[in-house]
């Protein structure tokens, strides 16, 4: 009889333990919401992206097996519980546009390449550097944003807001 009465307690213990391990669903970033003190520290997304340096470029890639530029952004923000659009052109529609001089760690930086507006995106790291998945055959890397190539192709920067 003692075993039967202990079973419901054991089941409840397992259920509560599993609930404690569950993470909340990702929050959707908004183009119009306001930043508040309870929002996620966006710089943590930059840390996740930086941890992926050396991962291979893969068109359409969204995980450490391979990333394209927007896939790296998508993955990094998802790791901090924020669901961002998957495509670069959609990423340009969220958050607020900021000046290059106002960049902060975790901001998105967009570049024009091959005549396509904002065809490349990275995450600003601070100290004049950003992390991105550059191109086929390449690897995720950090570059200086003020290098001639990147400064010439810089299009805009956006700060993600919740």
The predicted-structure confidence for 40-85, as pLDDT tens digits, reads as follows 699 999 999 999 999 999 999 999 999 999 999 999 999 999 999 9
Q: Residue 9: is its pLDDT beyond 60?
A: no
Q: Among positive and negative, which fits the CA dihedral 133, 135, 141, 142?
A: negative
Contact 154, 160 (CB under 8 A): no
Percentage of residues of the chain with pLDDT beyond 70: 75
| Model confidence band, residue 34 (pLDDT cutoffs 50, 70, 90) | very low
Is the pLDDT at 33 greater than 90, yes or no? no
Average pLDDT, stretch 133-153? 94
Average of per-residue pLDDT across 110-137 = 91
Annotated catalytic residue: which of 34, 69, 89, 153? 69
132 a catalytic residue: yes
Give 97's pLDDT tier (boundaries 50, 70, 90).
very high
The angle, 0 to 180 degrees and rounded to 10, between the axes of the packed helices 69-78 and 43-50 is: 120
Quote the DSSP letter at residue 23: P
Phi, psi of 56 (to 5 degrees): -70, 155
118 vs 61, higher pLDDT:
61
pTM: 0.77
**Which member of 3, 48, 132, 153 is catalytic?**
132
């Amino acid at each position: 009889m003692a075993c039967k009465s202990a079973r419901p307690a054991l089941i409840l213990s397992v259920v509560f333990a599993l609930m404690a391990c569950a993470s909340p669903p990702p929050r959707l970033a908004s183009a119009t919401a306001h930043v508040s003190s309870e929002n996620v520290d966006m710089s943590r997304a930059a840390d996740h992206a930086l941890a992926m340096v050396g991962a291979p470029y893969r068109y359409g890639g969204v995980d450490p097996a391979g990333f394209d530029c927007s896939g790296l952004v998508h993955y990094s923000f998802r790791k901090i519980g924020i669901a961002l659009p998957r495509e670069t052109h959609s990423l340009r529609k969220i958050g607020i546009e900021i000046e290059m001089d106002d960049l902060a760690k975790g901001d998105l930086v967009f570049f024009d390449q091959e005549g396509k507006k904002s065809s490349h995106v990275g995450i600003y790291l601070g100290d004049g550097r950003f992390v991105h998945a550059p191109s086929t055959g390449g690897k995720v890397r950090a570059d200086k944003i003020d290098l001639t190539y990147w400064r010439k192709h810089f299009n805009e920067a956006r700060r993600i807001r919740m």
